[in-house]
Amino acid sequence: MAKISGVIIAFNEEKKIADCIKSMLPIVDEVVVVDSLSTDQTVKISKTLNARVINQKFLGYIEQKNFAVKKAKYDWVLSLDCDERLSSELLESIKSIKDKLPDDGGYIFNRKTFYVYRWLNHCFYPDKRVRLFNRKTASWGGVNPHDIVIVQKGEIKAMKGDILHYSFNSISDHIKTIEKFTMIGAQEIINRNKKISAFTPTIRGFITFFRMYILKNGFLDGYPGFVVCVLSGAHTFIKYNHVYFENKKFGNMKNSIEE
């Protein structure tokens, strides 16, 4: 039977890290927690659950996750965020294939989000994510903060069961994350020298809302679904405004220097 390393990156996650680790324990052969110098009880809790803790200053979401993968003992890696858990059905699915894992490829899971007080069955779901993969032929990629596993070789197979994503406990938590992630996302766009107009933030924001609320049936998730879709649109709107204003500021500074 192949062995699997459970890998988690963490920072000040004392309220969620234990449940995340516990959900992995029935299926993994080790748990590696790469901690970004937490100031709470994250490290202590992780060690109590026999996780191997590695301290590493935050490198960026993609970079930190690839660092964690490299620190694993085994080539097959199961990667979760601190606010995620494996459902009982997904655990059974992984158990059923553990003794016949190939030398490459990966497995894709559905992710189901719990928002404040209820599950969202439409806004994000099924939100498919590759989270079990062979590190010899796959690694983390994408654009920060939206990291994805890129499988260079082998099949990507779907598995039954869900990753249970306990996202935000309150609207305030969601807004704080928007503030954080919009800056990171905007910087990635700026680094790619992408030019946008004053209309881009509004157009992009509306498209995000429309796609989630109408095309993905977010309206069926009730009022929480409406809130999530509005805030997701606002996330996009704010991110592209950061880019627009930074481009304008840089342009004005350049013109001042030339004058």
CATH of the domain spanning 4-168, picked from 3.30.365.10, 3.50.50.60, 3.90.550.10, 3.40.50.720: 3.90.550.10
Q: Write the pLDDT tens digit of every residue in 92-123.
A: 999 999 999 999 999 999 999 999 999 999 99
- What is the Cα 255 distance to its own chain's centre? 39
Which residues is 165 bridged to in the sheet?
84, 113
Q: Which SS3 state, helix, strand or coil, does residue 145 take?
A: coil
% pLDDT > 70, the chain: 96
Q: How confident is the model at residue 253 (pLDDT cuts 50, 70, 90)?
A: very low
pLDDT of 2 strictly over 90: no
pLDDT of 141 strictly over 50: yes
- Number of Cβ atoms within 10 Å of the Cβ of 192: 10
Q: Judging by DSSP bridges, how do beta strands 129-134 and 76-80 pair with one another? A: antiparallel
Cβ–Cβ under 8 Å, residues 131 and 57? no
| Secondary element (H or E) of residue 24 | helix 17-24
